[in-house]
Structure 1
Amino acid sequence: MNISDILRYGHQTVLDTVDGLPDTEWDTGGVCGVWSVKDIVAHLASFEHVLVDVLNSLLAGGPTPYLERWAGDKFNEEEVAKRKSKTPAQVFAEYKDTHAKNMSLVAKIPAEKCRQAGTLPWYGEEYSLDDFVVYTYYGHKREHCAQIKLFRKRLG
């Protein structure tokens, strides 16, 4: 696996999925439960922040506030709520900027370390960073993008 490619493909899926979505439809609920497209992108942005923490922990250590809160039940709810007052453009920019930061960070991690099982013991000793990114980021983005695509189809 190539972790940079995995991240890039997941990100491109998000970009392609929201491309051309009218500004007036970003706040319409019901895309994923009560969430709107903006809420989903806010949720994905918060996950990008979690990945910043994960990657930084592998590179230099230090605090991991998003990662620590991510394990809690209220993470998604709180993170989406934090971005409610932001415009769709602001939320989307945060998502893209944080993704770019992750691309920069992941480039600093040797491929062998990305493939090494047990580098994220809290995720499972048998899993690698590559596994974590495939399941938690690529698969997650594909899932939410499928929901957005269905929403867009309903819009006509």
Structure 2
Amino acid sequence: MACWPATARCSRSGRARSSASGQRPPAPPPQVCYLPPDAGSWPAPEAKGDAMSTTVEQALGALAATRAELLAWVARRSEAESERVVYGTWSVKNVLAHLAAWETWVVGSMPARLETGSTPEPMRERVIHEDAFNAAEVAARAHLSLAQQLAELAEVRELLLAYLASLDPATMAKPQPWAEWQGTLPEYLLRSLRDHERQHLDELRALLG
């Protein structure tokens, strides 16, 4: 998914877009908008695995490490701080909502992708229209408290881990398990979840310390 709301997000060229008011928001480092390999053109040009094979244990360890860093950073913020808009129209809590929505999409699309080798059209349509997807998913979670939003993040991660535990080693090691992704499933987890979460964490740190 795109990294920030449409009123303050990076373009695919890495330059910050202007906001609706015409003011250009300060672009946090790294100033290149990370686009997970499911949005935009199909197949996505960056949809390929890492140069070296990644095991599921390595991928899950990396996911856990990044999530631990994110939670430690959020723990230093009060409820009021988490509600304050910090970039475009999004607060810290909105960023967490975005992360939860994206991981929910990944978990929800994975069974059909692995079974059929392609992304179901309804799921595909949602991420092709990424700005609308982001706005709708964040708005749907606006009523949640910080604790509730963190609980959703934990819940969807548990769903992901439970599903991955049901897969056999051959499925994990299979290259190009669906048409839009050329790498293995563990490599996809790194690109679509770990890297996405890492970018948002780095941007929040740059903005708020």
Shift of 1:113: 1.8
Which amino acid is the alignment partner of residue 94 of structure 1? E
Q: How has the CA–CA distance of structure 1 residues 22 and 65 changed in structure 2, closer, same or farther, with 3 Å as cutoff?
A: farther
Would the aligned equivalents of 2:109 and 2:123 in 1 still touch at CA under 8 Å?
Answer: no
Partner of 2:6: none
Is 2:36 aligned against 1:36? Answer: no
Is the partner of 2:139 in helix, strand or coil?
Answer: helix
Q: Distance in 1 between matches of 2:124 and 2:170?
A: 23
**Count of residues in Structure 1 that have an aligned counterpart in Structure 2:** 149
* Separation (CA, whole Å) in 1 of partners of 2:190 and 2:169: 15
**C-alpha distance in 2 between matches for 1:114 and 1:33:** 38
| C-alpha contact (below 8 Å) 1:13/1:141 kept by paired residues | no
Aligned to 2:79: 23
Q: Which of 113, 118, 123 is the aligned partner of 2:176?
A: 118
- How far does residue 34 in structure 1 lie from its aligned partner after superposition? 2.6
CA contact (8 A) 1:6 1:138 kept: yes
Q: Aligned equivalents of 1:96 and 1:9: distance in 2?
A: 14
Q: CA deviation at 1:14?
A: 2.0
Matches within 5 A, 1:31-110: 32-57=87-112, 68-73=125-130, 74-110=132-168
1:86-117 deviation line (CA, Å, top 9, x unaligned): 22221111111111111111111223322321
Distance 1:38 1:133, change over 3 A: same
What's the offset of the Cα at 1:59? 6.6
> CA 1:68/1:109 → structure 2, altered by over 3 Å: closer, same or farther?
farther
Q: Deviation of residue 56 (structure 1)?
A: 2.8
1:3-22 maps to which residues of 2 (within 5 A)?
Answer: 3-22=59-78
What is the aligned-residue RMSD (CA, Å)?
2.3
Deviation at 1:36, TM superposition (A): 0.9
TM-score normalised by length of structure 2: 0.63
Cα 1:13–1:67 change in 2 (3 A) is farther
Unaligned runs of 5+ in 2: 1-53
- Of the two, which has the highest radius of gyration? 2
Q: Distance in 1 between matches of 2:124 and 2:100?
A: 13
- Length-normalised TM-score, structure 1: 0.81
For 1:22, the aligned partner's letter is S
- Taking only the aligned residue pairs, the percentage that are identical comes to 23
